[in-house]
């Protein structure tokens, strides 16, 4: 189980929302499902992140009152907060994806060093 750090959490959540509006609990389950259970984003990480996304204008929100079939029409019912990717959020997602690719390619330069570059010292003057 790989726990997502905030940077990757934001990328993943934004990606999930790019496929359509969703809400906290569903996003969390979606991430677990789409990663075969490898990724986990807990509630305590999810909600502060979604709040930040909203504050930064990357998503817009709407409350839905989920009424049970035979529920009292006067009862408030269960609240569900939907998150929709905004135009700004879409742009941010594209930026994030680009940064992610750049990070990956440079990181690969470290974890996949070209053959023949082995050295016993750092290369700087001792």
Q: Are 19 and 89 in contact (CB under 8 A)?
A: no
The C-alpha atoms of residue 10 and residue 14 are separated, in whole angstroms, by 6
Binding residues for a copy of itself restricted to 73-92, rule: CB under 8 A: none
Based on CB atoms, which residue is closest to DNA, 55 or 114?
A: 55
3 state DSSP class of 21: coil
Nearer to DNA, 81 or 100 (CB): 81
Q: Are 38 and 2 in contact (CB under 8 A)?
A: yes
Say whether residue 45 binds DNA (CB under 7 A): yes
Residue labelled with tokens 């690969």: 108
Q: Which part of the chain contacts DNA (CB under 7 A), choosing from 19-27, 86-94, 97-105, 108-116?
A: 19-27
Is 29 a binding residue for a copy of itself by CB under 8 A? The answer is yes
Q: Residue 1 touches which of DNA, a copy of itself, none (CB < 5 to 8 A by kind)? A: none
- The contacts of residue 94 (CB under 8 Å, 6+ apart) are none
Binding site for DNA (CB under 7 A): 3, 5-7, 9, 23-26, 29, 42-45, 47-52, 66-69, 71, 75-81, 124-126
């Amino acid at each position: 189980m790989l726990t997502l750090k905030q940077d990757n959490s934001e990328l993943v959540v934004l990606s999930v929302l790019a496929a359509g509006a969703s809400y906290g609990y569903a996003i969390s389950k979606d991430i677990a499902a789409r990663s075969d259970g490898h990724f986990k984003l807990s509630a305590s990480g999810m909600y502060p992140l979604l709040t930040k996304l909203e504050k930064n204008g990357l998503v817009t929100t709407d409350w839905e009152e989920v009424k049970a079939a035979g529920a009292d029409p006067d009862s408030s019912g269960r609240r569900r907060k939907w998150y929709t990717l905004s135009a700004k959020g879409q742009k941010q997602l594209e930026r994030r994806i680009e940064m992610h690719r750049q990070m990956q390619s440079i990181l690969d330069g470290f974890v996949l060093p070209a053959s023949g570059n082995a050295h016993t010292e750092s290369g700087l003057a001792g």
